[in-house]
Structures are given as C-alpha cells and as structure tokens.
C-alpha cells in the first residue's frame, strides 16, 4: 500500500492514461489485420509511456522488441507467431511485476498485460487472414 502512495505524479498520470487506452483496446473487436496492427501500435505506445516504471531499462527494451517482433509477424500474415510473441511479452511482464523485488510497477504490468490480451483476442478473431495491402 505504501508503494502506491509513493508513486510520483508522472506515474499516476501514465497509469491513468494506460487505463483510459485499455478500455477501447480490449473491448474493440478488430475485423482486419490492419485493426490488429493498430491495436498493437497502441500497446507499444502505452509500453513506451510506461518506460520510467521499469526498474531496468534492459527489461523495457526487451519488451519493446517482443512487440516489434509481433508486429513484424502480423504484417507477414504469421498470426500464430504474432500471438506467440505477444504471449512472450505477457509472460515477461508477469514475471517482472510479480518478482520478489518488482521490476515493473505491478498495476502497470497488469494493465499492459490485459491490453496485450485484447490484441491476442483480436488476432484470434481474424484467424489466419493476411493483411490486404490493396486498400
């Protein structure tokens, strides 16, 4: 409880901003791979916004790399691989947020994890459909 009281104003603003983005990202149902890419881009932006809440910047950049890899796989039409990369992102976030000495703010980790699940659900909803580059 003391930890949440000690959060800086910037941390509270970031967490609040992530929560505001979380609602549409999770509840929105993507109909195309482009929609999924957009949700993934929002997740990446939200992760970047939370950079200061990671105690180790190596962990932060590792998480960004997982999201970039997921975006690449999705753009290639490898939806299952994109989902795997997002699952890796979630597993790492969970580990960082639940470590004995947390390495990312737990509330932020939970928010980003839920947002990633929204992207996974959207990719699952479109199945193996590749991106239509014609229009």
DSSP 57-109: HHHHHHHHHHHHHHHHHHHTT-HHHHHHHHHHHHHHHHHHHHSSS-SB-HHHH
Higher-confidence position of 56 and 26: 56
Classify residue 13: in a domain, yes or no. Answer: no
Which residue carries 């000495």 as its tokens? 101
The domain in which residue 42 lies consists of 32-126
Please give the structure tokens belonging to residue 16: 């609040």
The model's pTM: 0.74
Q: What single-letter DSSP state applies at residue 125?
A: H
Q: Is residue 37 part of a domain?
A: yes
Would residue 135 count as lying in a domain?
no
Q: What is the pLDDT of residue 127?
A: 81
pLDDT confidence of residue 43: 98
Assigned domain for 22 exists: no
Section 11-33 average pLDDT: 48
- pLDDT digit string (tens) for 86-106? 999 999 999 999 999 999 999
Mean pLDDT across the chain: 81
Flag whether 1 is in a domain. no
**Could you tell me the CATH number of the domain that includes residue 70?**
1.20.1440
Instruction: Give, in order, the Cα–Cα distances in Å from 64 to each of 5, 7, 47, 104, 134.
Output: 28, 23, 7, 14, 29
- Mean pLDDT for 60-87 is 97
> What is the predicted pLDDT for the residue at 107?
96
Instruction: Confirm whether 115 is domain-assigned.
Output: yes
pLDDT of residue 3: 38
Structural domain count, the chain:
1
| Within a domain: 53 | yes
């Amino acid at each position: 409880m003391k930890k949440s009281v000690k959060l800086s104003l910037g941390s509270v603003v970031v967490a609040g901003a992530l929560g505001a983005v979380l609602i549409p990202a999770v509840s929105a149902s993507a109909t195309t791979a482009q929609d999924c890419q957009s949700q993934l881009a929002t997740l990446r932006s939200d992760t970047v916004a939370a950079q200061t809440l990671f105690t180790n910047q190596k962990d932060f950049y590792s998480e960004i790399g997982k999201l970039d890899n997921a975006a690449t796989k999705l753009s290639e039409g490898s939806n299952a691989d994109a989902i795997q990369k997002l699952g890796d992102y979630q597993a790492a976030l969970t580990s960082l947020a639940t470590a004995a000495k947390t390495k990312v703010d737990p509330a932020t980790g939970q928010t980003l994890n839920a947002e990633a699940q929204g992207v996974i659900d959207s990719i699952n909803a479109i199945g193996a459909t590749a991106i239509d580059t014609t229009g």
